[in-house]
Amino acid sequence: MDYQAMLEFHKEKEAAVTIAVLEVPWDEASRFGIMNTDSEMKIVEFEEKPKNPKSNLASMGIYIFNWKMLKKYMVEGINSGIDMDDFGKNVIPAFLDNEERVYAYPFKGYWKDVGTLDSLWEANMDLLDQESELNISDKNWKIYSKNPSMPPQFLSKTADVKDSLVVEGCLIKGKVRRSILSPKVIVGEGTEIFDSVIMGNVRIGKNVMIKKAMIGEGAVIPDNSVIDEKGEIAVVGENEVYGGAV
C-alpha cells in the first residue's frame, strides 16, 4: 500500500481517524471488522466480526489518527478502566460514539488476511500465479526479504521442477509442481510434491508423495511417506518427524 495516498485522503477529509478498507467476499465478511459508510465514505457504524454483515468493507488494520484526539480518548478510556489496547472493540467505537470524523479509505490492490490456514496457503500460491497482483518481480513495488548466504539450489539429473519457486541451498532429486521451497530443503529421488509450501531446512526422503501441504521448518519426512488429505490442506509442524520416526 502507498501510505502517502492514504495520508492525503485523511487530510482531505479532515478526518479524526482514517481506516483502510478492502472489499472482501460476502461469505468471508463475518471474519473481519466491517465498516458501514455513507456515500462520502464516512463511517457511520463499525461492526466487529458481525454474523450478518451490512457491507463487505473490511478493515485492513491500518489506521491514521489525529494524534491529539487519539491521546485524549486513550487517556479517558484508561482512566475509566477500559482496555484501550483493542482498537476494534474500544478505540474506534469511542470515536464513533462521539460523532468524530471517521472515514474509510478504499484500497485497491493485493491484500490478504492470513489468519487462517486456507488463506495462508492461498497467499503462497498467489506467488506462483502469473496473473496475480502479488508480483515479486515488480521493480516499482519491491518485496524485501532475508537473503541467506548459501550456495544456489541444485537440481540433479532426476529432478523435474515446474511452476515452482525453489530458492538457495535446496537439493532437488524428485518432482516438484506448483510449490514453494524455502532455503535448504532436500527432496529425495522418486519423491513427488504438488501444490505445497515447504519451509526451510526440511528433509524429505525418497519415494514420498506430498499433495497440498504446508510443511513446517526443520521437519523430517521419512522415505515412502504419503501426505495427502484429499483436497484439504495437510500440515506437518515445525521440527516434526512425520510419522514419529525416521
Q: What is the pLDDT of residue 134?
A: 78
Q: What is the pLDDT of residue 245?
A: 55
Tell the burial category of 88 from Cβ atoms under 10 Å away from its Cβ (0-12, 13-18, 19+): middle
Burial pattern 121-148, b for ≥16 Cβ within 10 A else e, equals bebbbeeeeeeeebbeeeeeeeeeeeee
Q: Supply the mean pLDDT for the chain.
A: 91
Give the tens place of pLDDT for each residue, 175-207. Answer: 999 999 999 999 999 999 999 999 999 999 999
Say if pTM beats, i.e. exceeds, 0.85.
no
Give the tens place of pLDDT for each residue, 70-80. Answer: 999 999 988 98
Nearest to 203 by CA among 169, 155, 164, 158: 169
Give the tens place of pLDDT for each residue, 105-142. Answer: 999 888 877 878 998 999 999 989 877 777 777 777 77
Cell numbers at 66, concatenated:
489525529
